[in-house]
Chain A
Amino acid sequence: MNLPPRFKQVFVLSTAMLSFISFWKAASIVLCDFGSSAYYAGGIAMKAFGPAFPWFIMAVMLFAGVMLMVYVESCSMFVRGGVYMVVREAMGKVMAKGTVSALMFDYVITGPISAITAGLYISYLLANLLPLVDINWQVSPNTFAMIFGALVTAYFWLENIKGVEESGENNVKIVGFVALIAGVLLVWSAYTIYLRGFTLPPFELNFTPAALGWAREMAWLHPVGVIGLFMAFGHSILALSGLETLAQVYREIEDPKLPNLKKTALTVFIFSILFTGVLTFLAALIIPGDLVATKYADNLLSGLALELEGPYWARLALQSIVVISGGLILIGAINTSFVGANGMLNRVAEDGILHDWFRHLHKKYGTTCRIINLVAITQISIILISRGNIFLLGEAYAFGVIWSLIFNTLALIVLRFKDTETEREWMFPLNLKINRVHVPIGLMLVFTVLLTTGVMNLLTKRIATASGLAFSAVFFLIFQLSERMNEKKIRLFQQDEEAEEKLNLRQEADINTVIPELGKSRRVLVPVRNPNNLVHLKSVLEHTSADDTDIVVLLAKISKSMEFGREQNVVMAEDKELLRSVVLLAEKYGKTVKPMLVFSNDPFYSIAQVAQAAGVSEIVMGVSGSTGAEVQLEKLAMAWGMLQKPGSSLTVTAKVVWEGRQMSYKLS
């Protein structure tokens, strides 16, 4: 007599099959956004306060190291959610919404500033190349950059509607290529300096009237001394744009999570010092001062290539390669701005502060097309309004960067006092332990620098202040109204109709259709029941190598309906909550898990059945408060034996794990 199947419906959670990435890939994703500022930050800073710009770009890059450490602390506390989650936990939803509104402004400007910079670099290259083939190139670089920027943005608009995501592999290739070109530039620059000698850039601050903004009208606010330093630092802080990508990419970093995050941060730091910092400095050393301010102001690295020592054809070839590498990284940054803005808005939507209207899915491609449309239309409008003027965009930029960094750092300071229970995996240095509080002296110093810079930017960067505040206010209003409408909706409808889609639960007819998806040599089965009792899963994630082991997480849900012959079961909110907790924990450890949910009349039968079908070598259970570990093992042993086919000699190690202890036995 064949026994009937113990369960009929199998749900597999697809989102948890997220593949985790190496620190190098993570660093390349961050650098495709953060590193792109090397192509425009120097020129914009020079235009604002004169020839001292390389000192300040270098200072900002060194400060990036400090901010990367701030991000390491915040990421180690919150695996996903980025600055929104940190600020919300520390200071509540209102502040979090304000921070995201400001950051959205920068995501929206990143696209246009990158697109126009790429257009300018290409335009200047064409101006050098086309005369060689007797083409009289008379198009204004700004006009070309504007048209190019609008077209490229439109291209990525369509690509993102289709749902083409960022490819980690492509990012690695781009950053690798850019690093190679940077290496060539560094060596060739060193050779040029060796031949010509050099003079360090003057440390003089010559602010243009526009760069002083409202400070011009404040008699007490002179751009000299420390105030002048902060003003210039504020005009250079746009080079920090893209750091938030580190927080967004952290959830995808592979195990060991924190050490890999530190390696990512260190890689980003070294690259930005050498690429953005040193190359900007070398450009100032090699390019004659009058050309930096005029001919090469908006294509500084092309200028560096052209002003090196060597034959013209070689320098022109180098400029071409610099433009190709710049084009790749800048165009990558345009895509990142779409993906980043879309991702961030989707994440805040999960928290109920963005109305579902924005999350409407495209009929054919299933992407959140309204958010993408909103970002694209705003970006193209900005490109057209700027008329390809990079300095105008530079003036508007960095509002979101600086204020999101300010709130992120402040939130971490607040959390040190507010949440003394959570053990930090890593803390920003310079702490004073008083009772249970690690008083964050270091973070407070960073916060002081950021706040001073932010306030100085408010006063000096008029366009950024006015447009940033207006844009953030609009977004803040959208968040506020959405939240109210969503609260009203929640009162009317108990269940969230779209929650199932968000979890990407896929239904399979049979467990055997899922087994081929497990491709590793070893398999571990981790049954789960309670989101507050995942100690055993944590233990598996800590001690199992994801390289050779598939971790199958099983929620065997007791189905009353099966006892009465009905087969349809509903995945309830508490099941989704449990699966979300599983995914969050897996993300925290950077290991892929395969969560599945089965409806069963006896969970131990389901565990044994899945274990035997999948050929697992280990079953790791959490302890049950109602029955205890021994009874769990007895029930599993009986189910295991009952399901064994005649002549079968399957064995498995069954473990029950709880805080500080475990029981481990063989079942045969």
Chain B
Amino acid sequence: MIRRSEEVALSTILQSDYVFFFKGRPAREEVVKSLASGLYPQVKKNIAAKALYEAVAEVEKLNNVLETGFFIPHAKLVEIDRFHAALAVIPEGFDDPKSGATVKAALLLLTPNKPLFFQQHLNMLSKLSRMFQPAFIESIAAMKDGRAVCEAVKKAE
């Protein structure tokens, strides 16, 4: 059965406090772990920190780095009822050996693990991949604060 296509705006789930800037060239695992830690306050009522880290670590095993240099670690959690997102901006980037891309932006996406949300989840992944093209990534990598990044996201949507 084809489910109803539903759009969720990234600007409604990404708050400026959850845009994290990284200095230097961090390791990929470090970026993912930092995003999970940073996002934890949003979901702490629903899920234990350990469970969140384990779920995100499981996702880490899958290579979701796109050739555009955008990385979308994402996890589906039964404990949550709405989307949550945190964005890492890495101006110097890190190299992903598998795709050969330099990653300057990574977005941790948490989606409710419920059938009704899966269509929205796919829409979100598609939208993120479309939005975070190299030029857009370069533009946010040059920004200094989360609010400006969120404004750019809103504009891009």
Which residues of A are at the interface with B, using a C-beta cutoff of 8 A?
1, 3-4, 6, 563, 602, 605, 627, 630-631, 633-635, 637-642, 644, 646, 651, 653-654, 664-668
Contacts and interface: CB of A to CB of B under 8 A. Distances in A.
Task: Name, among B5, B67, B121, B135, the residue most crowded by chain A CB atoms within 10 Å (CB to CB).
Answer: B67
Given A3-B68, A639-B129, A668-B5, 5 more contacts: A563-B100, A634-B122, A635-B64, A637-B129, A638-B128
A558 to B, nearest CB: 12
Contacts of A668: 5, 123, 126
Contacts of B3: 664-666
A642 B68 contact: yes
B67 A666 contact: no
Nearest to A638: B129
Contacts of B118: 630, 633, 665
Contacts of A651: 5
Contact of A653 (B2, B100, B134): B2
A634 B119 contact: no
B104 interface: no
Given A637-B126, A666-B5, A642 B66 contact: yes
Contacts of B68: 3, 642
A4 B128 CA distance: 20
Interface in B14-36: none
Most buried by B among A1, A605, A630, A638: A638
B130 interface: yes
B8 interface: no
Interface string B127-143: 11111011100000000
Contact of B64 (A4, A630, A638, A665): A638
A264 to B, nearest CB: 38
A665 B122 CA distance: 8
Contact of A638 (B2, B72, B100): B72
B148 interface: no
A576 B95 CA distance: 36
A641 B119 contact: no
A612 to B, nearest CB: 12
10 contacts: A602-B99, A638-B125, A638-B126, A642-B68, A644-B130, A646-B133, A666-B5, A666-B119, A667-B126, A668-B5
B86 to A, nearest CB: 18
A563 B130 CA distance: 23
A7 to B, nearest CB: 13
B132 to A, nearest CB: 8
A3 to B, nearest CB: 6
A192 B3 CA distance: 72
B51 interface: no
B135 A637 contact: no
B129 A640 contact: yes
A667 B126 CA distance: 7
Contacts of A639: 66, 129
Contacts of A644: 126, 130
B74 interface: yes
A160 to B, nearest CB: 52
Nearest to A662: B1
Contacts of A635: 64
